[in-house]
Structure 1
Amino acid sequence: MRNRTRLLSAISVAVLIVAGVLGWQHGRSPATEPAAVLTAPAGAAEPALNSLRAMLANYRQIIVLLADDKALEVHERASANAVGQGLFHDNLAHADTLQQQLAVLVAAAPKQGFGAVEQVLDYVESDAGLFDADRLAFREVLGALQAELGRNGSLPAVKLHKRVGEDLEALAEIEKNYEREIQQIFSRFESRAITLKRERWGDYLAKLRKLYSREQILKDYGVVMPYSPEQLAALDKSEQESEIIGRGLPPKTLVLTFDDGPHPKFTEEIEAILQQYGAPAVFFQVGRNLGAVGEGGAAKLGANARVARKLMADGFVLGNHSYSHAQLSKETGDKLKAEIVNTDTLLRAVDGQRAPLFRFPYGAGSPEARQWLDAASLRSVMWNIDSLDWADPVPRSIADRVLRSVDAEGRGIILFHDIHERTIKALPLVLDQLVAEGYQFAGWDGHEFTLSKGRNSEAAKATVTTGYNQSWAIVIGIDEYAKWPRLQYAVRDAQAMRDTLSQKYGFAPDHIQLITNAEATRTGILAAFHDKLGHAGMQKNDRVFVFYAGHGATQKLSSGRDLGYIVPVDADPAKLASDGIAMTELQNIAESLPAKHVFFVMDSCYSGLGLTRGAGNAFLRDNAKRIGRQMLTAGGADQMVADGGPNGHSVFTWTLLQALAGKGDLNNDGYITATELAAYLAPAVASVSQQTPAFGSLPGSQGGEFVFELRAEGEFLNADTAQLSGEAIALNTKLDAARPPVSAAAPVSAASAVVVPDLQGRERKITSLPVVGSSIRQQAQRANDRGLQLYREKQYAEAEAAFTEALKLRPDFALAANNLGYIFFKQDKHREAARWFEKTIELDASRVVAYLNLGEAWAKAGDSDKAAKALRTYLELAPNGAGAEHARELLGKS
């Protein structure tokens, strides 16, 4: 007979010594071997084995998920329990399926079905990947198998019945060792006749935690635990009369005020903008947005109180804007009193240091209302500059109105509202111009509005903002030279640059002058600068970007100095001085343009000689004020530039395009400056070619920085989302290895410095801008954008981390939820993907592509009913959508 004593002894030793890590060896006595080995057709046991493995994975994940759950926060425990319940009930379904599969095998002819049953038992008894405690997951299945075998009277069935019975006895011994821990974890679920385990449980759990993490299990089931309020907080960073109006402030002094908040989304974005400019502000809060006051006068704060607390923690001032935003001039008695006093109670509950400032809704007060203000020791604050952002839907119009009013008043209090997205767009336009014109912003010091010079000046050093009215570009690419070697990549580089400027950075197509091949004569190029730009109505707050891809050359002057040239299509090599366009000529053109910032990017041989005199400061102090004239070249004066980049681009232009796609945002603030481009391109290009880009300022520059503002990505990942080729990914990997790592959550340190040649070949150390404050919403968007970039490079693990970070910051971020789901889909985790697509639809049911993604995920997961439902919904919403044909094809298969 089989030696069960030896089996149990081995199990006990394994449990006591290494917590069940040793495999369960199934002993067998020769006397009980069947007369002939039962065989089964290849693969007959595989469906049952797959069900066993699925059960085991869920069983292990439940243990990891719920172990030590007393240490979890309440909301974390609730999520873990919910996902654990899902896993548990999934296992019930797996168990039912497995029992049906085994019943079919038992009913089959002995040499087929029983042979497959033998394979299943071999796995349970002796698979090297199983721990002793794992086998408890199979106890009920073995019990059902034993009963099924008992109904079959054949000799092979009797032998297998006996073998299963001995296995169950061995499981009972394991169960005794782990009883307490298993009971703690599984007792919260519906009982299925199992009570379980013990001895060195901690060792077994440690092994499981190497296989699974609680965070990943939750994520697989559509749950990302958001950051706690404390963690989010850590991530973020004068008239004397009774009524303050603003006309008593010093000249060129302004007070910024924002009414009607706190708003759960927009207030933080406005705060982040103000922090970038170092501008103080007063936020007049509506009481019911903060919470409620009970009958006994006790304040009960709501969710938005967190936003208000953060404002105060970051140095901003909170004021009272009534409880319900009623027109107080029409209220009297207790109702009027409650509008004022209740909000004051809530503000004191937010922070006892709230400012004693009040603003009447609609500016409408009354003598009785002012008496209540006096009784509450509150001062009324009005305004003399109204943005009308509550009425005007156009950000540029709002900005123009404010700037005209400021120009007329010369000082005062500006009224904005922090409940409109258009205010977020208008505010930087206003602040850019005001800073450029020398206005300063006053803050409340507890008694009056005064200037805080330290706050304004220090933060201004870190201010990065475009603030451009219009954007212009001249883009030149020449392949088909008559008297110079033909090039292969220049025109394609120029076309790609034009597309990037218009599609990603908002350059109007009619403001981009593309000049290629035969058009790129000396006359044609110079005419584009003098005629197209000179007579196009360019203004002082505009920017100009110039890109050149073609031949470059140098000529030694009689003084011994080398002079660089770009080579037009019609240039004669023997007449370079007359046919070429000297770098000094480009400098003169740059100085003559009225635009605030001009940036030349030259992808040509010998393009390093762009500067013959002058110097500039790469750090931003007051970018809106300073003129900027900058040049970035593909290589030094003695270097040939490299062809052969991916997609038919030069190495330099490919790297430049990748930088403008987001990689050049070294401090992760949503802006890419010319300095950051140089800091990214110089080491990256040098690492994969024999050229070193050079960078510097041209004559006439006053330290201003050309700035690209990254647009928020809004793409919901789907089957049509483009990814890079293998060649492009391979080169990007090499380029990224040459720079410090940048992640969505941890931008490169502002102290990181890069040595880049200047335009005369001298070494120059440049650093990226310090990181400035940004709202949680902005941080989440950047994490999502980083994830999209990583997806395109097929870095799925890194993309998953980025989208997860976005959801930790913003649990309601439907875009990131879909994109995380698609990362799972690309890794063939179809059920996990489906859960996230369902979450996307729950968050934003209007996202049609999520239904298509969901249908395809369920189709891949084998659930044809759910797939069909999602696909039909997609076709109802988008019968002629881009994925309609694919959806119908999938429906035909389901």
Structure 2
Amino acid sequence: MSKPELAASVNVGQQVFHENQDKITALKNALDKLFTSADAKRFETINRLLDYVESDNSLFDADRLAFKEVLTSLQSSVTKDSSLTAIKMHKRISEDLDALNEIERNYEKELGQIFGHFDQRGIVLKREKWDAYVAHLKEQYSREKILKDYGTVLPAPVKDDPTDADSKKAEREIFGDKLPPKTIALTFDDGPHKQYTEEIAAILKQYEAPAVFFNVGQNLGTVNADGTATLAATAKISQKLRDAGFVIGNHSFSHAQLSKLSGDSLNKEIFNTDALLKSMDTNRSPLFRFPYGAHNQEGLQALEKAHLQSVMWNIDSLDWADPIPSSIADRVLKAVEKQGHGIILFHDIHDRAVKALPVIMDKLVADGYKFAGWDGSTFTVAKSEKAAPEKVSVSAGYSNSWAMVIGINDYAKWPKLQYAVQDAQGVRQILIEKLGFPADHVFSLQNGEATRNGILAAFHDRLANSSIQKNDRIFVFFAGHGATRKLSSGRDLGYIVPVDSDPNEFAADAIPMTEIQNISESLTSKHVLFVMDACYSGLGLTRGGASNYLRDNAKRIGRQMLTAGGTDQMVADGGPNGHSVFTWTLMQGLSGKADLNGDGIITATELAAYVAPAVAAVSKQTPAFGSLPGSEGGDFVFELPVETEYLNTSTAQLSNDAIALNSKLDSSRPEAIADSKNTGAKSAPVVKIKDLQGTVQTIVTPVAIPVSARQMAQHANDRGLQFYKEKHYDEAEAQFTEALKLRPDFALAANNLGFVYYKREKYAEAARWFENTVKIDPSRAIAYLNLGDSYFHVGDNAKAKKAYQTYLELNPNSPSATYAKQQIEKL
């Protein structure tokens, strides 16, 4: 496609996009008006809309994604109605939104296989490939016809003339190609948005990156005929941005194509928004961005009259046209790599930008790019007298995750073990179910499979091949015997013992740590972490430390190892659920306890800082940790998932022996220290851990990144869930309460706080919180079951019966349906 054709296509595409945005806004307003009316047919009308989105054969999966914002808005409107019909509709919409999220994830992965049918969802995913959808669109629509319909006919191609008007015009505007090499300016158009703008700002703060937010005036307020500006509630979002150090720019009043306007119509688009911005801040910035980048000579003259300056861009994320975050990120990064600098255009009115931004920022930071902010006269990189503290990224940022888990109980010639296979199975389960490793990427070897040849072949065939990419991570877990041999030089050499090894010949038939080192160096992945539930010594590790875990962690190769103990130490058996003490502690750490600074990610350094002192405190083992020779300081990262469990009577809690051991482990846990500025950032105290040569090293876990109130609320809820499962109800109550302080509309935390009261037999208090839960999320069936149980114990039979009946209406085929029916019969 030629440059003129591309430019025209993008321009018209943006017009089509914003026309559709106007239609979506009108549809959302109409649905909201309909639902709040007394029209008896309102549910029927909305159900027909849902039927269309869910089942119309003319829709591709990608077409359905266009309804995501409409359904989200509709769900909010439905929440205001407490009738059973509305509650059922809320549940249906929730399930449709789940399906739309699944569609988005599938397009991100571009999987070719057919997934199973989700019976509980109205939308049946067709699972067509994105390329197939694009081919379908090309059959349905002609680029030339669309351009013609929007008043654009491309002239015959001519050679570019460097002296043309565009070159002269460029001198009157700010373009990204004027920035220094390796410098990026971030800009976001069309806001403020009531949710996504603040989430984007929170992400930018994590990277200490400045940005310009170009606001549409009608999103900020209204302007009377006499020029008096009245700010709307949404203007507070922009005021918060300004207070946080971001720059607010003018993006016209109604997002009209200003190149087609003149006179008063043109001036109002510019000056009305300027009046609103001045009412927010008399020293408003002079930055203006023309919608679609389209303007004429009169438009530029109007900017001069208003003392405003046009800001263009040279890197377009096309996030308005692309619903897939990973595709947006890939496009931006390729453009940045090609151009080397520039102004990037994003939009802060969709969650796709929120999802793509951390991936983009991770890579830009890793590649050494700097972020320029507006200093009042130009875009510059801020200079400070001291280097800014470097932050870690909240995103793990890996392309793929791989693992090898090995467990051996049935040794032929070594003493048999009781726990190793169970340990390997437990670690595999937590990698897949908790930490997001794909099941087909987690390879297992147990007992007879774990011969010397079998282990080495698995490493070379499955982990050291072309399937592994440079941005992948590999986790290796071994549970079995370890041994140490003293060499003639006096140096110790450690071994892991395969199932077919002979104790008298292990120097020949076991696997020495030097071989593990060779394997490590042959792996192409970015980060590798070996965790060995075996005791041995004899591998020279470099010193670990938080100084290696900097914001450029994404570009540093990491090769790390954590072991259960040293020479002549026995691995402690008898942990809960058939695990060794070491592996049980490791699993508790990976479940969230090793997140010492509370930022939602666990680094290998944090994991060692939690596991090593805890295991040493309850056993005769001294776990060791360090980086393998050749490591460049990268730190393996686990990203904790968001907990979504609504506590109820079927929620499993830990056994008494598990709780007792965890209490001992936690007594030696290094506690995070909150920062003095109350930003939410935390750091952990230094921890002393031995390396495999027996030398004591000091490691410090990284300072946590600042996070949004929404993220802090989620982390508090997750900690509360940990405390609940350990029956520490006071601590659980405090965490759920903290979550609700940070986010009052957090239905999950409201339910969980209610269930803590229920567990402590404070039924009236529990009922109040369950009532709050169903007000926030009226289709959450389990909350009605909890509410029924609470009122049953209070003795309010009528309310209990109503709650049980609502639960059965929402979830008639659930495992708890029989229980609810039995409760109703008692009443």
Describe how 1:588-599 pairs up with structure 2 within 5 A. 588-599=518-529
Q: Which amino acid aligns with 1:855?
A: G
Per-residue CA shift, 1:834-883, capped at 9, x if unaligned? 22222112112232222222222222221221122222222122211232
Q: Contact 2:673–2:682 (CA<8 Å) still a contact in 1?
A: no
Change (3 A) 1:397 1:567: same
1:711 matched to 2:644: no
Match of 2:549 among 620, 629, 634: 620
Per-residue CA shift, 1:625-672, capped at 9, x if unaligned? 111111111112342221111111111111111111111111111111
Change (3 A) 1:680 1:341: same
Paired position in structure 1 for 2:273: 343
Paired position in structure 2 for 1:484: 414
Match of 2:256 among 326, 335, 349: 326
Q: Contact 1:435–1:625 (CA<8 Å) still a contact in 2?
A: no
Match of 2:535 among 580, 594, 605: 605
Q: Which amino acid aligns with 2:793?
A: K
Aligned-partner Cα distance in 2 for 1:392–1:524 = 45
Q: Which amino acid aligns with 1:496?
A: G
Q: Contact 1:266–1:421 (CA<8 Å) still a contact in 2?
A: yes
Paired position in structure 2 for 1:418: 348
1:807 matched to 2:736: no
Paired position in structure 1 for 2:38: none
Describe how 1:367-406 pairs up with structure 2 within 5 A. 367-406=297-336
Q: Contact 1:693–1:756 (CA<8 Å) still a contact in 2?
A: yes
Aligned-partner Cα distance in 2 for 1:390–1:652 = 49
Q: Contact 2:543–2:626 (CA<8 Å) still a contact in 1?
A: no
Change (3 A) 1:294 1:829: farther
Aligned-partner Cα distance in 1 for 2:521–2:295 = 55
1:883 matched to 2:816: yes
Deviation of 1:495 after TM superposition, in Å, equals 0.9
Q: Contact 2:542–2:627 (CA<8 Å) still a contact in 1?
A: no
Aligned-partner Cα distance in 1 for 2:433–2:264 = 57
Describe how 1:445-484 pairs up with structure 2 within 5 A. 445-452=375-382, 454=384, 458-463=388-393, 465-484=395-414
Describe how 1:521-532 pairs up with structure 2 within 5 A. 521-532=451-462
Per-residue CA shift, 1:80-109, capped at 9, x if unaligned? xxxxxxxxxxxxxxxxxxxxxxxxxxxxxx
Match of 1:779 among 696, 707, 712: 712
Paired position in structure 2 for 1:552: 482
Per-residue CA shift, 1:305-335, capped at 9, x if unaligned? 4432332233222212233333334444444
Q: Contact 1:320–1:358 (CA<8 Å) still a contact in 2?
A: yes
Aligned-partner Cα distance in 2 for 1:398–1:391 = 9
Change (3 A) 1:560 1:419: same
Paired position in structure 2 for 1:701: 631
Deviation of 1:442 after TM superposition, in Å, equals 1.6
Aligned-partner Cα distance in 2 for 1:746–1:299 = 34
1:825 matched to 2:758: yes
> How many residues are aligned here?
655
1:844 matched to 2:777: yes
1:667 matched to 2:597: yes
Paired position in structure 1 for 2:124: none
Equivalent position SS for 1:244 = coil
Equivalent position SS for 1:632 = strand
1:572 matched to 2:502: yes
Q: Which amino acid aligns with 2:317?
A: S
Q: Contact 1:358–1:378 (CA<8 Å) still a contact in 2?
A: yes
Q: Contact 1:554–1:562 (CA<8 Å) still a contact in 2?
A: yes
Deviation of 1:610 after TM superposition, in Å, equals 3.5
Deviation of 1:760 after TM superposition, in Å, equals 1.6
Q: Percent identity?
A: 63
Change (3 A) 1:368 1:864: farther
Per-residue CA shift, 1:5-24, capped at 9, x if unaligned? xxxxxxxxxxxxxxxxxxxx
Paired position in structure 2 for 1:144: none
Equivalent position SS for 2:249 = strand
In structure 2, runs of 5+ residues without a counterpart are 1-168
Q: Which amino acid aligns with 2:724?
A: Y
Aligned structure 1 segments of 4 or more residues deviating by more than 6 angstroms: 613-617, 743-748
Of stretches 248-257 and 643-652 in structure 1, the one that deviates more from structure 2 is 248-257
Deviation of 1:448 after TM superposition, in Å, equals 1.1
Describe how 1:228-307 pairs up with structure 2 within 5 A. 241-294=171-224, 297-307=227-237
Q: Which amino acid aligns with 1:787?
A: G
Per-residue CA shift, 1:590-627, capped at 9, x if unaligned? 11111111111111122x43436787875322101111
Paired position in structure 1 for 2:112: none
Q: Which amino acid aligns with 2:785?
A: L
Equivalent position SS for 2:530 = strand
Deviation of 1:677 after TM superposition, in Å, equals 0.7
Paired position in structure 1 for 2:794: 861
Of stretches 626-635 and 364-373 in structure 1, the one that deviates more from structure 2 is 364-373
Per-residue CA shift, 1:501-525, capped at 9, x if unaligned? 1112211111111111111111111
- Whose radius of gyration is greater, 1 or 2? 1
Aligned-partner Cα distance in 2 for 1:455–1:541 = 34
Aligned-partner Cα distance in 2 for 1:668–1:758 = 26
Paired position in structure 2 for 1:643: 573
* TM-score, length basis structure 1: 0.70
Q: Which amino acid aligns with 1:818?
A: N
Aligned-partner Cα distance in 1 for 2:771–2:440 = 42
Change (3 A) 1:852 1:618: same
Equivalent position SS for 2:424 = helix
Aligned-partner Cα distance in 1 for 2:684–2:614 = 19
Change (3 A) 1:548 1:456: farther
Aligned-partner Cα distance in 1 for 2:239–2:477 = 47
Q: Which amino acid aligns with 1:884?
A: A
Aligned-partner Cα distance in 2 for 1:339–1:541 = 46
Q: Which amino acid aligns with 2:538?
A: L
Q: Which amino acid aligns with 1:247?
A: D
Describe how 1:55-74 pairs up with structure 2 within 5 A. none
Paired position in structure 2 for 1:313: 243
1:690 matched to 2:620: yes
Paired position in structure 2 for 1:758: 691
Change (3 A) 1:800 1:331: farther
Q: Contact 1:619–1:769 (CA<8 Å) still a contact in 2?
A: no
Q: Contact 2:596–2:671 (CA<8 Å) still a contact in 1?
A: no
Change (3 A) 1:364 1:867: farther
* TM-score, length basis structure 2: 0.76
Q: Contact 1:387–1:414 (CA<8 Å) still a contact in 2?
A: yes
Change (3 A) 1:809 1:304: farther
In structure 1, runs of 5+ residues without a counterpart are 1-238
Aligned-partner Cα distance in 1 for 2:600–2:477 = 22
Change (3 A) 1:751 1:872: closer
Aligned-partner Cα distance in 1 for 2:343–2:386 = 17
Deviation of 1:344 after TM superposition, in Å, equals 2.4
Deviation of 1:536 after TM superposition, in Å, equals 4.7
Deviation of 1:565 after TM superposition, in Å, equals 0.4
